Amino acid sequence: MGMKSPAKKKEIVKRSRPTDAELGKIDSNNGDAGKIISDLTAGHKSIEYEARDIALYDIRVNADNEIFRQADTQEDIVQLAEDIQRNGLMHNLVVFPQEENGKTVYVLLSGERRYRAIEYLEKRGDATWNTIKNCNVITTSLSENEKKVLLYSANLQVRGGFADEQIRRKAVAEFVVCLQNEPFNMTEKDAKKAIKEVSATTAKQIDRDFRIEEKLDKELLRLLDNKFLTRMECESYITLEAEEQHKIAQCYLLLSAVDVSNCDTDARERLLQECNSIHYDFIRAIDRARKTNEPDERDERLETAFAECENAIRLLQNRVGEYRDAVSRHDTEKAEEIAKDVARDQEAKRVEPMPESLDPQALTDATVAVSFGADDISETDGKTELTLTVYDYDIYDMVDIAQLAVGDTIVVDGKDMVVTSREDENGFVTINGGLEQGGVDLTSDDSGVYYAVGLDDTKSYHELGKVTVPVAEGFVLTDNADPEHPDETYAAADLAELAASEPGFTANNTLATIEHGKLTVLVRSYTP
C-alpha cells in the first residue's frame, strides 16, 4: 500500500464524491485508510459532507466508540490538549447531524480524543474552543451500520496497535460482523481482509485475535477478558478440543473463586503466591500433555493435570477456611502459622533457553534460517551446490517466562541477566528496559514459546554451523525482498547474481527448505 502525499488545505463547501485524500480526513488524514473507506462505500452510494463551525456543547460522543474509549487515560487527554493548545487542531473532527429534543446536534465519527482534549481546555477556561471550526459534517443519510463501519475504520487505522489486546481483539471481531451486514454484505473472508488493510496492527496479529475470539472456550475467554488468564496461555489452549478447554475452564473457575480479600496483607500475599503456584503448575502440566504425540498418553496426562489441579485448589480452600476460623477465634498465632505454611518457599529462578534441537549436519528434512554469498555457490559434476550457514534462535518455555520475576536470572545469548524490572505490554515481555536499555524484549509465537527480538521484531539468531547441500532439480527461489515486486521466482542459475547484489541473503530474510538432503526451496523476505 503506497503512501500518498497529503492533500493541500482548501475551503470545502460541498462535494458529491470526496477524493481518497479527503476521505482520509475521517482517519486523521491517512490516504490509505481513506481509500479503504472509499472502496467500502463506492459500491452503493457517494458521501456528501460540508465544512461547518459547531458549538462545542452541540457535539456528542458516539456510543459505538465505547470499546476504543477504554484505551484512553486522562493523562493521554491532557497531553493531547496541551499539544492542541500549542499547535492548534491539526485534523478536523468528523461528525454527522442528529435530532435531539427538537434541535440539531452532532455525533462524532472520528476525533473523540481531540474533542475530549478541547473540552478539557474549555473547562479550564480557554474560551477559544467554545466553537470548533471546520468540522467535517457528513450530510449523506447513513444507516447505523454504515456509521459504525466508518467509526471502526478510523479507530483501527489510527489506534490499531493497542497496548490492550482485549480492546483490539473485541474491536476487530465486531468490525467483521459489521462488514457482513447491510449494505456491505461481505463474506467473512473478505471482511477480515479489509480489516487487515485498514488496521495499523499486523495481519498476523489480527489472525491470532480472530482465532482467540472464535476458538477459545467462552469461559476461558471471559477469564482472559477479566485478566485472570494471560493471552500467552490462552493461545496454547485453542489447540485443544472443546471438551478439554471446558475442563480447563472449570479448574480456573474454581481457582478464581478462592477468596483471600479479607485476609491481612501478609497472609493475602502468601495465599496469592500459592494460587499462582497452582496456576503455573497447571499450565505446565497442560503444556506437557499438549505436546505428547501418543493419544492415550496425552489423554492420561490431561486427566492427571485436571485431578491434581482440583485437589490442590480444594486443599488451598480448606487452608483459607482454617485461617479465617483462627482469625475469628482471635488465635493470631495459629493464623500466622497457617499463612506461613501455605505458600511454598520461592527461591530465585534461573531461566535458560530450551535445549538446542537443530543439527546443521543432519538436515535431511527441515526449514531453517540461513545465509550465503556468491562465493558459497559451486558446481560439481554439472550440479549446483550451496554452502549454507545455518542459524537458530533461543526459545524459552512459556511457563518459565510467565513466572519470571524481579530477582530471577534469564540467560540471553549465553550470558546471565539478572532481572531488575519486567513489563508486559502488547504481547511483549520487556526485561530491564528492553533492548535499547541493555535488556531484552521477548515475544511469543503460535506454538507458545518465547524468544528474544531485536529491532523491527527480528529474531536474535545465532550461528550453528555450515552445511553444503546439492540444489534439487525443480529448485525455486521465491523473492519478496522488494515489496513493490513480491513473489518473484528464480531458478538455481540466478543465485550467483542475486547473492552478489543487495540486500543479499541473511538469517533475518532467508529460509531454506531441505527435503531428502537436497535444497528445494529458498524464500527471501522483505526486511526494513
Residues whose CB is less than 8 angstroms from the CB of residue 389 and which lie 6 or more positions away in sequence, other chains included = 370, 371, 372, 463, 465, 466, 507
Identity of the residue numbered 287: D
pLDDT at 217: 96
Structure-model confidence comparison of residues 486 and 338, the more confident one = 486
Give the model's confidence band at 486: pLDDT under 50 very low, under 70 low, under 90 confident, else very high: confident
Identity of the residue numbered 215: K
Give the tens place of pLDDT for each residue, 516-528. Answer: 889 999 999 988 7
**What nine digits make up the cell of 412?**
540471553
Average pLDDT over residues 46-70: 90
Residues whose CB is less than 8 angstroms from the CB of residue 320 and which lie 6 or more positions away in sequence, other chains included = 258, 259, 260, 263, 271
Round to whole Å and give the CA distance between 211 and 235: 8
- CA-nearest of 453, 403, 407 to 430 is 453
Question: Over 90: is that where the pLDDT of 267 sits?
Answer: no
Which percentage of the chain shows pLDDT scores above 90?
39
Average pLDDT over residues 426-450: 84
pLDDT at 312: 92
Give the model's confidence band at 311: pLDDT under 50 very low, under 70 low, under 90 confident, else very high: very high
Question: Over 70: is that where the pLDDT of 245 sits?
Answer: yes
- Phi/psi at 192 (5° precision): -65, -40
Question: Over 90: is that where the pLDDT of 336 sits?
Answer: no
Structure-model confidence comparison of residues 3 and 82, the more confident one = 82
pLDDT at 108: 94
Average per-residue pLDDT for the chain: 84
Cis status, amide bond into 18, omega within 30 of 0 = no
Cα 159 to Cα 5, 64, 67, 395: the distances in Å are 21, 15, 12, 31
- CA-nearest of 410, 408, 406 to 397 is 410
Contact of 292 with 301, CB cutoff 8 Å: yes
Round to whole Å and give the CA distance between 443 and 455: 13
Round to whole Å and give the CA distance between 61 and 110: 10
pLDDT at 194: 83
pLDDT at 62: 94
SS3 367: strand
Contact of 399 with 283, CB cutoff 8 Å: yes
pLDDT at 513: 93
pLDDT at 386: 93
Question: What global pTM score does this model have?
Answer: 0.65
**What nine digits make up the cell of 92?**
478536523
**What nine digits make up the cell of 313?**
485448589
CA 333 from centroid of its chain's CA atoms: 48
Structure-model confidence comparison of residues 12 and 324, the more confident one = 324
Residue reference for cell 508486559: 424
pLDDT at 13: 32
